[in-house]
Amino acid sequence: MNKGELVDQIAKDSGITKTQANGALDALTDAIVSTLKKGDTVTLVGFGTFSVTQRAARNGRNPQTGETIKIKASKSPKFKAGKDFATKISGIKPKK
């Protein structure tokens, strides 16, 4: 599913226009990105948690030449699925 198909589905399921659904989806993604840029996490209960992980600087190898290169430290986005979301996808019923 791409963004256009997702917007269509949101509009259909919620009874709003595609323009409104696109605006809502853009607002959601913008809010998540801006929160992660600040170093905070976004938790959607039942869905999952978006966070930022730190990658340390390390040495790598150029596959063409075999030369050792230095890879800078970086930040990377991370998503951890919530329990309800994960069980819905896998079809496994949660333990009580």
CA 6, CA 32: separation in Å to the nearest integer?
Answer: 17
Q: What is the mean pLDDT of the chain?
A: 93
Contact 77, 92 (CB under 8 A): no
Describe the crossing of helices 3-14 and 18-37 by its angle, rounded to 10 degrees. Answer: 120
| Local structure of 44: helix, strand or coil | strand
Contact 95, 84 (CB under 8 A): no
- Minimal CA–CA distance to 85: which of 30, 28, 41, 43? 43
Superfamily of domain 41-96 in CATH is IHF-like DNA-binding proteins (4.10.520.10)
Q: How do the domains of the chain map onto residue ranges?
A: 1-39, 41-96
pLDDT in tens, 8-46: 999 999 999 999 999 999 999 999 999 999 999 999 999
Confidence (pTM): 0.75
